[in-house]
Amino acid sequence: MIDFTSTPIILTIILGAVGVILPVINVIKKEKGSSSFYGAITLGALIAAIGFVAYQIIADKVAPAAIFSENVLVDDMFGSFFAITMLIVSIMTTVGSFSYMRGKAHPAVYYSLILLASVGMVLIAYSTDLVMLLVAWELMSIPTYVLAGFMKKDPASNEAALKYFLFGALSSAIIIYGISIAYGLTGSTNIAQVISGFSHLGPDMMPLALLSVAMFIAGFGFKMGLVPFHMWLPDTYEGAPTTISTLLAAGTKKAGFAAALRVIVMGTVALNLEWTFALGIIAIMTMTVGNIAAIMQKNITRMLAYSSIAQAGYILIGLSIAPYSQIGIQAALFHILNHAVMKGAAFIAAAGIITTLAVSHLDKIRGLGKRMPITSIGLVVSLLALAGVPPLNGFWSKLMLFGSAIDAGSVVSWAPYLAIAGVLNSALSLAYYGWMIRKMYFEEGESDKRVKEPKSIIAVMVFSIIFIVAIGVYPDPIIQFTQSAVPSISTVSIAP
């Protein structure tokens, strides 16, 4: 029995149908429409989708019940939380693309691929079965491979797409191998049954279970940009169209965390292993490498790419201490939502700078505050929020993350070191964010003439400034939302 009124099914139908129809419209229509026509349809579909999710949450209709009899998808608050996050990112990407795609070829395909990737990202968060997770993972990945190489006359875009594809395909191959071991050990592909099966394994089979979890960490880690698996990330974010870098940094990376929360964290809770320690080490490595490499960059998008690696390290703190602290996962969810908006705003601002001024080198943005005032303010606010300056939203989520790490210190002795590493790294990151802000406002540029900023970029900037400051001043509703999103994972996954 399929319940056609449940959120994941409706979202798939809205987004998937529009995504499939857009290229058909492109073929049928005689005169080739402008790119904003397709952009408007995409935006309409995404807003309808996010409105539906919000309505389901506000009307309290989110019931954690299985949708198919085989328990493939579940309509719970965890999925709804990630759906809202991913759809906000997709909307920001789409609006930012209005100016970026002007005059470029094949707008219908571009927007259609964004919609299909959004379906994949949303379904990852709702899936409770490894087969569904795999299908949703590929539905998210394959459109983004094409999108990264969308500017096919541009060598950088080509190179970015090829590197992204090779590492992405490797990550899915590793995930499939991990799933095959998990299936062989437990005889099921349902995540909850796999985990309860793992916890009843004999000691001779335990190494295989560890191998399976390690393969999941590696596979999801490629998309999350964790440190041993991050080599592709700066190249891809720099070479891909900047709006697509937004989708990758703010969207697909978060989908990796959604999958990791569904599988790895609950697995570590059930297995009661030393994996949390390994995750903690990866978290510290990720944030340190990301921040140190970001300091040395000369290119805006490349610097933002390394900073997004560092932010993945902060989020991983919450995952690694999940079994020991009540608020670990909650803090991670809060930072995931915040980071999606902050990093999305920063990348869209970079896209605006690259489209209007055609520069991406950090030395060329001197005096930007006078030339593009609204974009500059948006960029400054998002950078400060990324660094965790109060009273912006990034401060509260980092406070919760580091607080939960200290809280977990009563159970495991290494947890407070995560908080110390996090605080030191935040201070380090303020160095390069502040350096960039100084260039924009306190250094003389080549000209003071104000250039016309694209309206779509202004719209995204205004939305993100309002979001970042509002959550920073009054974080309570979002904190409650994240709190309601947490228990539904544990009830779904721990249940036999």
Partner 1 sequence: MSNELIEFVLVSVALLAIGIYGLAVKRNAIRMLFAIEMIVNAANLNIVAFSRFIPNSQGQTLALFSIAIAAAEVAVGLALIIVAYRMYKNIDIADFRSLKG
Which residues of this chain interact with partner 1, rule CB under 8 A? 130-131, 134-135, 138, 141-142, 145-146, 149, 152, 155-156, 158-163, 165-166, 169-170, 172-174, 176-177, 179-181, 183-184, 187-189, 234-235, 238-239, 293, 296-297, 299, 302, 306
The string over 288-308, giving b where at least 16 C-beta atoms fall within 10 Å of a residue's C-beta and e elsewhere, is: bbbbebbeebebbbbbbbbbb
- Phi, psi angle pair for 324, to nearest 5°: -105, -15
**Closer to partner 1 at the Cβ: 151 or 419?**
151
- Supply the minimum distance, in Å, between the C-beta of residue 360 and partner 1: 12
Question: Between 134 and 381, whose beta carbon lies closer to partner 1?
Answer: 134
CB of 160 to partner 1, least distance (A): 7
Nearest to 10 by CA among 69, 51, 58: 51
Q: Are 157 and 240 in contact (CB under 8 A)?
A: yes
Q: Both tokens of residue 381?
A: 């606010």
* Alpha-carbon torsion (238, 426, 286, 340), positive or negative: negative
Using CA atoms, how far residue 149 sits from 33, 138, 164, in Å, is 23, 17, 9
Of 61 and 152, nearer to partner 1 (C-beta) is: 152
For residues 313 and 105, what is the distance between their CA atoms, to the nearest angstrom?
37
Question: Residue 181 and residue 448: Cα distance in Å, rounded?
Answer: 61
Closest to partner 1 by CB, 232 vs 481, is: 232
**336 vs 158: CA distance, rounded Å:** 29
Q: Of the two residues 116 and 478, which places its CB atom closer to partner 1 in the complex? A: 116
- In angstroms, what is the minimal distance from the CB of 190 to partner 1? 8
In the complex, what is the shortest distance from the CB of residue 215 to partner 1, in angstroms, rounded to a whole number?
Answer: 10
User: Of 184 and 373, which CB lies nearer to partner 1 in the complex structure?
Assistant: 184
State which residue, 131 or 459, has the beta carbon closest to partner 1: 131
Q: Least distance (Å) from partner 1 to the CB of residue 402?
A: 29
Place of tokens 């950090």: 362
Is residue 392 within 8 Å of residue 381, measured between CB atoms?
Answer: yes
Cβ-contact 403, 423 below 8 angstroms: no
CB of 159 to partner 1, least distance (A): 4
Q: What's the closest the beta carbon of residue 150 comes to partner 1, in angstroms?
A: 11
